[in-house]
Amino acid sequence: MKNLMKTAAAFLLGIQVCACSQVENKVSPAIPSDPEIEANIRQWLKKMTLEEKIGQMCEITIDVVTDFEASKKNGFTLSEAKLDTVIGKYKVGSLLNVPMGIAQKKEKWAEAIRIIQDKSMKEIGIPCIYGVDQIHGTTYTLDGTMFPQGINMAASFNRELTRKGAEISAYETRACCIPWTYAPVVDLGRDPRWPRMWENYGEDCYVNAEMGKAAVAGFQGNDPNHIGEYNIAACMKHYMGYGVPVSGKDRTPSSISRTEMREKHFAPFMEAVRNGALSVMVNSGVNEGMPFHANRELLTGWLKEELNWDGMIVTDWADINNLCTRDHIAASKKEAIKIAINAGIDMSMVPYEVSFCTCLKELVEEGEVPMSRIDDAVARVLRLKYRLGLFENPYWDIRKYDKFGSEEFAKVALQAAEESEILLKNENNVLPLVPGKKILLTGPNANSMRCLNGGWSYSWQGDQADNCAGAYNTIYESLCNKYGKENIIYEPGVTYAASGNWWEENTPEISKAVAAASRADVIVACIGENSYCETPGNLTDLTLSANQRNLVKALSQTGKPVILVLNQGRPRIISDIEPLAEGIINIMLPGNYGGDALANLMAGDANFSARMPFTYPKYANALATYDYKPCESMGQMNGNYNYDSVMDVQWPFGYGLSYTAYQYANLKVDKPTFTASDEITVSVDVTNVGKMAGKEPVLLYSQDLVASTTPDNIRLRNFEKVALQPNETRTVTMTIRGSDLAFVGYDGKWRLEAGDFKLRCGDQSADLKCSETKVWETPNR
Ligand code: BGC
C-alpha cells in the first residue's frame, strides 16, 4: 500500500519457519547459469563489505532522492545531497517508481538515470537497477504506446499479440534507459469484487500462464543471460494467490488451500520461471494467517529450490514493514526484516527510508540472519544486473530508439484493442451501425481517456490521463471521426466528479439525455467505472451505480434501440438493465486506441474476435468461475428433497459474439487411450459460415469425469486463434500432454488417474481414456 498504516502495538505471534521439504535438486536449472557471470559474482562477493552487500538488497522510491523545491521550478530534479546519502552512504542498489507521481518524457527519464548511474558507479562500482510499473505499455512515459490492460489482452486469446505488446513496451522502456518492469501481472482474477481484476489475464490459470510466458518472451527476448539492447527484465507478480481475497478487498486475507495454490495460483509463475523470467514480486497479502512475505516454504521452497531458479525476489511496497505494522507477526521492523530475509526475500522495496540497511547489518552481526543468506540474495541481485548488461552499459544513448511512439507501434496497439473488445449481445443485428444514423452518445465514460485506460496510466490512479493523452481519441472523438460530428449528439446524463473519489458522480441530468434521444436513431450508452488502482479501488457494492442504471432505464423508455458499452475494470452487475439493451459491448480497459477500435468495430470495419476471460456475474451473491465444482450447479433431484443448485451467470467465461458465425466439425484425437507421458494431438475443422472475415479463438477444454477429489467442472487446456475468410475452413491442431490433465490431490501430490475424460471444443466433444494412474513424487509435474 502506498500509505503505511499506523503502527499499532504489535503482537508477537512468532513465525513458523517451515522446514521446507529438502528437495533433492535433480531438476535442471530454470535458467542455465552463465559461467562468466557466476565468476564475476564470486569476485564481487569476496571483495564487498557487509554494508555494500546489504545496500544491494535495498530498494528506495525516487521521491527519497528528489529535490522537490527545484522540481517545482524546473520539473523533476534529483537532489545531489540525497543521492549522497542513499547511494553514497547507504550503497542502495535499486530505485523505483515515477517521479512526482506523473509520467515523464523519455529524455527526462534518461537524464535522471544517467545521473543515478554515474553516482552508483562512482560510489559503489555496481550499477543501480531502476524499476517501473510499465504494465500496459509505457505507463509512466509520455508519448509512448499504451496497450490495453492485461484483462483485455487475455480476452484477445492471442499470445502473439501479447508478446508483441510486451516487446514494444520493452523497446520504449529501454528508450528511457530503464531496464526493469514490474510486469507481467499473472494474478488469477477470480473474484470480480477485487479492484485489481483488470491488471491480470483473467480467472484461468492456463490463460495467465500462456500470456505470462508470451509477455516474458516479449520483454526479455530469447536469452535470459544476455538481455539485448531492445529488451528489459520482467518481474512476474504478485507471487501468488493475490486475486482471491475472502472479502473481495485488496490486500486482505485469502484462504487458499495448498492444493489450489499448487494447481492454479502457482501455475503461471512456474511456467514463466521455467521460461526464463528473471524476477518475481511477492503478493502483499496473507494466506491462512501467513503473510506471503514471511512464507519460507513458498518463497525459498517452491520457487527457488523446487524450480532450481536463480532469479531475484523483490517485495511489494513496504511489505517487510507490513509484517510488523500491519500483520503483527513481528514486534519490530527489525524482526520483520529477519523473518522476510530468512524466508527468501532478496530485495526490499522499503521504499521511504534506509533503516533496512542498519537493521539488517545488526541482524547479521547478531547471527540472526546468516551471511550465507546475504550472499545468496546479493548474488541474485548482481546476477540480474549482469544479465541486463548494466555493468558494461549502466545507461545508453537513447537516440537510436527512433521507433518510440511510432505509427508502427500504434498499429499493434490498435489491433490489440480491436481484438480485445467483446461483443456480448447483438439482438436484431443492431450492430454494425451503418453511417448515416444519428447516434445519441451518453454515459459518464463516453468522453474520457481516463476511463479508457484505467489505473497505472500516466499516474498510479490513472487520474491524469485526460491531461496526458490528449493526442488520442475518446469514444466521442472516435465516433465523430467515424460517423461525422453532425451525427453524434453527446449528452452524458451522468458524469463523474472531477475531483474526489473515483466513484463519485455529479448530480445526474438524465432528463437532458432523454430529451436528446428524440433526435437520435440509436442510443449508445457508455457506462462503467472511472479509473482507480489497488486498495483505493475497493468496493462495497458490485452493482453498477444507481445513476447509471437509471440513465439506461430512462433511455430505454424512449423506444430507441440502446447499445451498452461497458468500460470498466471489473464486471459491475447490470442484470436489471441488460434486458433493456439490444447491443452490449464489453470494452473493459482498452487503452489509448480503445475509442478508435470501438468505432471500427461498431461500424463493421473490423470484426469482433474477443472472448470473456472471466465469468460475468448476474447477482452479487452468485459469484463463480468457470472451473467450478459439480455440486455448484446441479439439476433437480428426485423425491421430496427435489432441490436443485443453479448457477446463473450473466456471461460465461469464453463467451463472445462476432459479425460472422463459425461451425465446428470433426473433432479428432490421435490417442483415445493415453498415459501421462503421451502427447495427444487434437484437431478440429472450423468454418466461417457467415459473410464477414473474422478471427475465432478456438478453445480446447477437458473434463475429468471421475476423480478421487471432486474434479473441476471443466478446464481450458489450449487455445488457438484462427483467421477465416467467409466459407473458409481450417483444420486447427492443438497438442496437450497426458500430464496436462493431472490435478493436485488432497495429499498435495499431482495425480493423473486412470479413467474417462472428455475433450470439448465448440459444440464438439471426444471421449478419451487414461489407461494408467500416475502419482508424482516430485512437487511439480
Ligand atoms: C503494487 C505493485 C507495484 C508496486 C510498485 C505496489 O503498491 O502492489 O503492483 O509494482 O507498488 O509501484
- The answer, yes or no, to whether any atom of ligand 1 lies below 6 A from the CB of 237, is yes
> Which residues in the chain land under pLDDT 50?
1-23
CA distance 508 to 562: 19
| Beta carbons within 10 angstroms of residue 308's beta carbon | 16
- 455 alpha carbon – ligand 1 mean position (Å): 12
Cβ of 97 closer than 6 Å to ligand 1, yes or no, is yes
> Which fold, 662-775?
Immunoglobulin-like (2.60.40)
In the 8-state DSSP scheme, what is residue 29?
P
CA of 608 to the centre of ligand 1 (A): 33
The C-alpha atoms of residue 143 and residue 66 are separated, in whole angstroms, by: 23
Nearest CA to ligand 1 atom 10: 182
User: How far does the centroid of ligand 1 lie from the alpha carbon of residue 601, in Å?
Assistant: 34
662-775: same fold as 415-617?
Answer: no
- Ligand 1 proximity of 534 Cβ (cutoff 6 Å): yes
Among 236, 314, 316, 460, which is best to mutate for testing ligand 1, by the most ligand atoms less than 8 A from CB? 316
Report the pLDDT value the prediction gives residue 642, as an integer from 0 to 100. 79
Protein residue with least CA distance to atom 6, ligand 1: 317
Whole-prediction pTM:
0.96
Nearest atom in ligand 1 to 185's CA: 9
Q: Which helix (H) or strand (E) holds 697?
A: strand 694-704
Q: What is the Cα–Cα distance from 593 to 147, expressed in whole angstroms?
A: 8
For ligand 1, whether the C-beta of 316 sits within 6 Å is yes
Atom of ligand 1 nearest to the CA of 182: 10
Cis peptide before 779 (omega within 30 of 0): no
CB-based burial, 27-65: b 16+ in 10 Å, e otherwise: beebbeebeebeebbeebbeebeeebbbbbbbbbbbbbb
Which of 133, 279, 322 is the pocket-test mutation for ligand 1 (most atoms within 8 Å of CB)? Answer: 133
Residue nearest to atom 2 of ligand 1 (CA): 316
Question: What's the pLDDT at 646?
Answer: 82
Whether 316 is a known active-site residue: answer: yes
Beta strands in 529-582 (DSSP E): 562-567
Out of 316, 466, 596, 712, which one is annotated catalytic?
316
Q: Which three cell numbers stand for residue 731?
A: 483444420
- For the chain, which residues make up each domain, given as ranges? 2-400, 415-617, 662-775
pLDDT the model gives residue 638:
79
Q: What ligand 1 atom has the least distance to the C-alpha of 281?
A: 10
Q: How far is the CA of 236 from the centre of ligand 1 (A)?
A: 12
658 SS3 class: coil
Q: How far is the CA of 219 from the centre of ligand 1 (A)?
A: 18
| Alpha carbon of 336 to ligand 1 centroid (Å) | 19
Peptide bond between residue 29 and the one before it cis (omega within 30 degrees of 0): no
Please tell me the predicted confidence (pLDDT) of residue 24: 52
User: From the DSSP assignment, how many helices (H) and strands (E) are in the chain?
Assistant: 22, 29
What's the CA-to-centroid distance between 591 and ligand 1, angstroms?
20
Q: Is 133 in the pocket of ligand 1 (CB under 6 A)?
A: yes
What pLDDT score was predicted for residue 25? Answer: 58
Q: What is the DSSP letter of 562?
A: E
Sign of CA dihedral 217, 220, 225, 228: positive
- Rounded Cα distance between 262 and 298, Å, is 10
Q: What distance in angstroms lies between residue 149's CA and the mean position of ligand 1's atoms?
A: 15
Q: Is the CB of 250 under 6 A from ligand 1?
A: no
- Between CA 611 and CA 312 the distance in angstroms is 35
d(CA 236, CA 232): 13
Cα gap 691→694, rounded to integer Å: 9
Residues near 413 by beta carbon (within 8 Å), at least 6 away in sequence: 137, 145, 146, 147, 148, 165, 168, 591, 592, 593
The H or E element that residue 58 is part of is strand 58-61
Give Cα 393 to chain centroid, integer Å: 30
CATH superfamily of 2-400: Glycoside hydrolase, family 3, N-terminal domain (3.20.20.300)
Residue whose CA lies nearest to ligand 1 atom number 5: 317
User: Is residue 317 lining ligand 1, measured as CB closer than 6 Å?
Assistant: yes
pLDDT digits (tens, 9 = 90+) for 144-199: 999 999 999 999 999 999 999 999 999 999 999 999 999 999 999 999 999 999 99
Quickly tell me which residue has 470495419 as its cell: 605
- H or E element, residue 482: helix 475-483
Whether the upstream peptide bond of residue 253 has omega within 30° of 0, thus cis, is no
Domain 415-617 has CATH 3.40.50.1700: yes
Atom of ligand 1 nearest to the CA of 460: 12
CB-based contacts of 656: which residues, under 8 Å, 6+ apart? 155, 422, 423, 424, 608, 609, 610, 611, 612, 697
Phi, psi (deg, nearest 5) at residue 706: -140, 135
Distance set, CA 641 to CA 81, 631, 636, 637, 644 (Å): 76, 15, 9, 7, 9
Closest CA to 187 of 718, 614, 719, 743: 614
